[in-house]
Amino acid sequence: MNIQDNILKQYLKNVYFVCGTACGGKSTLSRALVEKHGFLLYDADARFDEHIALSAPVAQPSMNRRFASADEFFGRSEEEYLSWLEGNNREQLGFILLDLIRLSKKRKVVCDAHFTPEQIKALTEPERVLFLIKEPKNLIDDYCGRPDHEGFTRFISSASDPTAAKRRCNAVLERLNCAVYDSIKRSGCFYIERDASSTVERTLKTAEEYFGLT
C-alpha cells in the first residue's frame, strides 16, 4: 500500500526534520532544539533495534543480517558494505514514518534521521526540514570519537586488524556520504555546512530562525 505524499505531509506537520551527512551535527542540534523548546526528540538510529524486533527477514533482509564477528562485518567488500547500509536506511523508513505519525499527533517532534532530499520533499514542506552537512573526509575518527558511539568503537577495536577495519569503514562512509553531500548541495534545500568555525550556539540560532521558532 502506498500513501500519497499530501497525506503524509498532513500527518507529519508537527515534525521538524534535521537530516544530513554523518558528523554534520544532527544529533547535537536536535538535542539543543529539544532542550530549549520542549519538543520530543526522535532519534532514528536509537530506534533501530526496536524496529528490528518488529521486522521480518523476508521483508527487511538488510536489517536482519547478522554477523558472527567484527572480522566478518568489516571483511565485506566496499560494495557489499555500502549496499547493506543503503538497505538498512530503505527498510527502516516505514517504521520511522509510522512512529512519527503516532508521536507527533499531539506534540511537536524533532526528528534526527537519514532522509535524502528526494525522500524529504515527499514528506514535509521545505520550512520544516534543514540539512547539516560536513565534507565527508576522515569520518571514522569523528564517528568513533563520540561518546554515544562507544559500542561501535569497541566493536571495531575487536577486529583482528582494527586499523584495516577502520580503513574499510571510512572508505564506505565516505562513498555513502559523498553522494548525500553532493545531492543536498544540488537539491535547493536549506543546509548548514559544518567547518572549523562552527559553534552549537550559532547553528542553533540559524535553525531557530529558519524554523520560525524565534
Residue 56 above 90 pLDDT?
Answer: yes
Task: Return d(Cα 196, Cα 140) in angstroms, integer.
Answer: 17
According to DSSP, the β-strands at 15-20 and 129-133 are: parallel
Q: What is the pTM of this model?
A: 0.92
pLDDT band at 150 (very low <50, low <70, confident <90, very high): confident
pLDDT in tens, 182-195: 999 999 999 999 99
Residue 149 above 80 pLDDT?
Answer: no
DSSP 45-63: GGGHHHHHHH--TTT-TTT
* Sign (positive or negative) of CA dihedral 171, 17, 32, 53: negative
* Boundaries of domain holding 89: 5-211
pLDDT in tens, 30-40: 999 999 999 99
Residue 2 above 80 pLDDT?
Answer: no
pLDDT in tens, 60-70: 999 999 999 99
Domain count, the chain: 1
pLDDT band at 143 (very low <50, low <70, confident <90, very high): confident
Mean pLDDT estimate for the chain: 93
Residue 1 above 70 pLDDT?
Answer: no
The residues with which 16 forms a beta bridge, in sequence order, are 110
Q: Which CATH number belongs to the domain containing residue 103 in this structure?
A: 3.40.50.300
Yes or no: say if 16 and 117 are a contact pair by the CB < 8 Å rule: no
The residues with which 192 forms a beta bridge, in sequence order, are 132
Q: How large is the average pLDDT for residues 149-169?
A: 91
Determine the straight-line distance between the first and last CA of the chain, rounded to whole angstroms. Answer: 39
Closest CA to 158 of 80, 72, 45: 72
Yes or no: say if 111 and 17 are a contact pair by the CB < 8 Å rule: yes
Cell of 58: 523476508
pLDDT band at 4 (very low <50, low <70, confident <90, very high): confident
Residue 89 above 80 pLDDT?
Answer: yes
Closest CA to 23 of 186, 189, 181, 205: 181
Cell of 163: 586499523
* 9, 21, 103, 162 from 12: Cα distances, Å: 5, 22, 10, 42
Q: Look at residue 142 in the predicted model and tell me its pLDDT.
A: 78
Residue 138 above 90 pLDDT?
Answer: no
**Percentage, residues of the chain above pLDDT 70:** 100
